[in-house]
Amino acid sequence: MSYQRVLLKLSGEALMGDLGYGIDPKIVADIAQEIAQVVNSGVQTAIVVGGGNIFRGMKASAAGMDRATADYIGMIATVMNAMTLQDALERIEIPTRVQTAIAMQEVAEPYIRRRAIRHLEKGRVVIFGAGSGNPFFTTDTTAALRAAEIDAEAIFKATKVDGVYDSDPKENPNAHRYQSLTYNHVLANELKVMDSTAIALCKENEIPIVVFNLLENGNITRALKGEPVGTVVGGHYEVN
């Protein structure tokens, strides 16, 4: 299956590579090259990027910081990542716009749904920063929300593993990797695909989720072109 409009969800941790903190420019450049191949093939591409390589709101909250304040700081971290990815894409001549849910007019556009769709129609990559603009929501939920708003055909969640397993493959060598799952199975078994709010949003709007390994060269291109990569979650699939 090939796609016309998709949303790519990148974790902040993906941008730091083997570093313990921050951003690895080579990793970002490699990701940009793969996204460029997808864009140049005609697929309209939106991106939601996390901020965990810089600041994790839930972790800070657990250490005593006010949860809302911690989440807002995390949202600002996602904008830093979005701008970094925008720079990498534009250095290879891929037109890119960053839209933020918190106003930062000197560095990014405000999030406006119709403007985002228009950018996509013109072949520009749109990176959504600052999460949903509200505390207590993850960037996974933001990805589901934005995908529904822009009528994306699928969400592609790039991770450090090659799909969804029934248990941790690092601890259990016999862990089973699923090829396909239903939303209900993910929710009932609390599988670590996305948080439950994000899964429920995808279920309600019938948006499939593809979980795949970001670290394998060429996987972004293969996944977004519709090749079978990783695990797919959706209402019309079987648990396999």
User: What proportions of the chain, in percent to the nearest 5, are helix, strand and coil?
Assistant: 40, 20, 45
Q: Which residues are annotated as a binding site for UMP?
A: 51, 71, 132-139
Judge if pTM exceeds 0.85.
Answer: yes
Percent of the chain whose pLDDT exceeds 70: 100
Q: Is 125 helix (H, G, I), strand (E, B) or coil?
A: strand
Helices 67-91 and 25-40 meet at what angle, rounded to 10? 70
Whether 21 shows a pLDDT value over 70: the answer reads: yes
Q: Which residues are annotated as a binding site?
A: 9-12, 51-52, 56, 71, 132-139, 159, 165, 168
87, 112 Cβ separation under 8 angstroms: no
The pLDDT tens digits of the residues spanning 173-224 come to 888 899 999 999 999 998 988 999 999 999 999 999 999 988 888 888 888 7
**Domains, the chain, ordered by start:** 5-233 (3.40.1160.10)
The pLDDT tens digits of the residues spanning 63-73 come to 889 999 999 99
Q: Which residues are annotated as a binding site for ATP?
A: 9-12, 52, 56, 159, 165, 168
The pLDDT tens digits of the residues spanning 87-111 come to 999 999 999 999 999 999 999 999 9
Whether 17 shows a pLDDT value over 90: the answer reads: no
